[in-house]
A = this chain, B = another copy of it.
Amino acid sequence: MTLIVQKFGGSSVADAESIKRVAKRIVETRKAGNEVVVAVSAMGDTTDELIDLAHQVSPIPDPRELDMLLTTGERISMALLAMAIRDMGYEARSYTGSQAGMITDAQHGSARIVDVTPGRVREALDEGAIAIVAGFQGFNRDSRDITTLGRGGSDTTAVALAAALGADVCEIYTDVDGVFTADPRVVPKAHKLDRVTSEEMLELAAAGAKVLYIRAVEYARRHGVTLHVRSSFNNNEGTWVVNQAEGESVEEPIITGVAGDLSEAKITVVGVPDVPGKAAEIFTIVAKTGANIDMIVQNVSAAATGLTDISFTLPKADGEKVLTALRAEQADAGFASLQYDDQIGKLAVVGAGMRTSAGVSAQLFRALSDAGINIEMISTSEIRISVVTRADTLADAMRVVHTAFGLDGDAEAVVYAGTGR
């Protein structure tokens, strides 16, 4: 029998009517003869409302108590969903993260899954029941406390269950039809992808694509879980996120998608002495703040001065603390000054086919320069090229690049390249 894990987010279960709609979809999946496990988020804005309530009684809510509070959101929606399904004549049982065997470390608010032992879920399936599991939460064995998994927690719950149960597919239900070649609100000609590799999805998510959380994609990739991202509003096929076996001879489009990100800022450390160890020193200072650095660019030093500039990007939210930390160490580190720029936009083109095709960078740079868009930083991986431009040109840049790589809907999809070895 096929085992399907389905994940429904907060907007899918925002009220009683939505819950009944989702219950109907789940029942149809079960009726078709599949074993069904569901991971569900809290209803609508419940989590934000609970966080707000917490701040009304305490400016810095205790992390353990905050997790106890927030996990009620998923408990409410899972119980209601189970009730609705039973009302339709199908056996359904809800399980908290703890009851479903989601074992985590003790990091309240951002717990990592260390083990998944879904014994009770498996029993429920063996008895023919649908199992509903609260997303976003787990249990720490040492402290015997409830934990929450942080952003993307419900997606991660779904994927972790799928991996542990050996599910055939993990369906992630969302507001849009699937993964698009670019954000359709920015690039109107974007079209839905039938299929991406998990590697590409990882790069797209890291580059700013919002439809799936990096963490869930990475978990799926590591554990060989197939994802199907689809709309909760219709029955259309969405986007399959598959793991690509090494050397698999599959036609790959060179560029799968274009992602844009306006959430980052750039810090330039000006006049760094070009001697061994300086870069390490600077990034150690930065690392101690806990900030997540994205792109790093260092140019060759000017021969005359022996000084160089190092630029890096990071979330705007982390800008202040990093600047503060660097200023504090300026004398020791020996750099001349700091520049802060929060008007940057980051564009990334992602495609597994890039690995074997030359000329992609050139094509990208040419498309941008033809459109009069200046490139300020460049960073690449095997299947991704990222560039930094002015924030106010990002949208244009995305559309230009989308067109240049033949991704516009109704056009001849993409330029394929074979992957023979």
Contact = CB atoms under 8 A, between A and B. Distances in A.
A65 B79 contact: yes
Given A58-B84, A58-B87, A68-B94, 15 more contacts: A16-B53, A23-B57, A53-B76, A53-B80, A54-B79, A57-B87, A58-B83, A62-B83, A62-B86, A66-B83, A68-B75, A69-B79, A72-B72, A75-B75, A99-B144
Given A72-B75, A76-B72, A87-B59, A82 B53 contact: no
A83 B99 contact: no
A61 interface: yes
Nearest to A19: B57
Contact of A69 (B64, B66, B75, B144): B75
A68 B58 CA distance: 27
A16 B56 contact: yes
A134 to B, nearest CB: 9
Given A57-B19, A84-B58, A64 B76 contact: no
B80 A62 contact: no
A66 B79 contact: yes
Contacts of A71: 75
Secondary structure of the A side of the interface?
helix
Copies in the complex: 2
Contacts of A66: 79, 83
Q: Which of A60, A64, A68, A72 neighbours the largest number of chain B CB atoms within 10 Å of its CB?
A: A68
Determine which residue in A23, A58, A60, A96 has the highest number of CB atoms from chain B within 10 A of its CB, and name it. A58
20 contacts: A16-B53, A16-B56, A20-B57, A23-B57, A53-B80, A54-B83, A57-B83, A57-B87, A59-B87, A60-B87, A62-B83, A62-B86, A64-B93, A65-B93, A66-B79, A68-B79, A68-B96, A72-B75, A75-B75, A99-B144
Contacts of A76: 50, 53, 69, 72
Contacts of A78: 68
Contacts of A65: 79-80, 82-83, 86, 93-94
A106 B93 CA distance: 16
Contacts of A62: 82-83, 86
B75 A57 contact: no
Interface in A112-128: 120
Contact of A57 (B84, B96, B120): B84
Nearest to A62: B86
